[in-house]
Structures are given as structure tokens and as C-alpha cells.
Amino acid sequence: MKYITIIALVIIMLQSCENREKGITTDIVKNTKSAVKTSEEGTAPKMYFEETVHDFGDMIQGERVKYSFKFVNIGGSDLVITRVSSTCGCTVGDYPKDPIPPGKVGYIEVTFDSKNRKGFQNKTVTILANTEPNTTTLRIKTKVILPERN
């Protein structure tokens, strides 16, 4: 009986993979805030950043720094940011919660806390939005130096 269940699960998984390759999905993904019609081309919002990497330079361990990445929605409909996540707890991303209309500016604020860190730091912040592609990656860099001891 165990083997029949395992074989049935494998068949279902393989069938699911075949359907996805053919463009058939059974998942329903709904973003109620999104103004994008997925069937229309050219209407998707798009984030344009002047820079996607910021170097804080050298900093002393324990310092906390912030930087705001400026972006413009250069797409054809409202841009909705669903989530901003980072590679570790020392990096925090703050972002606009309201839709950004076409042509308007928004900011992703990134805070880095160097407490208990040392050496070169390269952190990634990932933005999930109703854009194509739906993820955008930002990076911050710094070199954390130990404070001088007297």
C-alpha cells in the first residue's frame, strides 16, 4: 500500500511538471492591489533605479547607517511592492506601501547595523513587486573596522 501511494505521488508530480512546461497552471495567484492585466503586454509596471549597489565605505563596528535607493515607475500601470527581504537581520528594508503610479518616484530605505560584524560585508535586499520580472535585487557593501582600543 505504501508503494502505491508513493507511485501515485510521483505520477502527480510529473504530471504537474508537464502542465507547467505546456504553460498550464493550476495555481491561482491573485494580487488584489495590482493594476496589471497579465494578458496585455507593455502595461506592466517597471522599476528603474539609477543605482542598485551602494558602498558605505569603511565604518566602525557598532555604527548603524541608512541609504535610500530612489526608483521611478517607468511602466504603464501602478507599481505595488509586496515585500522587501534581506539576506540577514542586520539589513532592513523600508518601502512604500501604497501603489506607485507610472512616472512617479519611490524609495527603498535600507538600514545596515554593523553590531557584531567585522570585515567586508556584502548584503542583498530583494524586492518582490508586480513588475516583470517580479523581483529586483539591491546590494549594499561596506568594510566594518574594529574600534581602536586604548
At 52, which CATH number? 2.60.40.10
Confirm whether 72 is domain-assigned.
Answer: yes
Confirm whether 7 is domain-assigned.
Answer: no
pLDDT at 134 over 70: yes
The pLDDT score that the predictor gives to residue 149 is 78
pLDDT at 79 over 50: yes
Confirm whether 94 is domain-assigned.
Answer: yes
* R_g over Cα of the chain: 21
Number of domains in the chain: 1
Confirm whether 66 is domain-assigned.
Answer: yes
Q: Would you call 69 helix, strand, or coil by DSSP?
A: strand
Q: Which grid coordinates belong to 77?
A: 500601470
Note the residue count of the chain.
150
Confirm whether 13 is domain-assigned.
Answer: no
Burial status of residue 44 (CB atoms within 10 A of its CB: 0-12, 13-18, 19 or more): buried
Residue type, 71: F
In terms of residue numbers, what domain contains 80?
47-145
pLDDT at 17 over 60: no
d(CA 72, CA 106): 6
pLDDT at 60 over 80: yes
Total-model pTM? 0.69
Confirm whether 19 is domain-assigned.
Answer: no
The pLDDT score that the predictor gives to residue 91 is 79
pLDDT at 12 over 60: no
The pLDDT score that the predictor gives to residue 94 is 87
Q: Which of 1-10, 24-33, 75-84 has the lowest mean pLDDT?
A: 24-33
Confirm whether 150 is domain-assigned.
Answer: no
Confirm whether 124 is domain-assigned.
Answer: yes
Better-scored residue on pLDDT, 89 or 142: 142
- Quickly state the pLDDT bin for 150 (edges 50, 70, 90): low
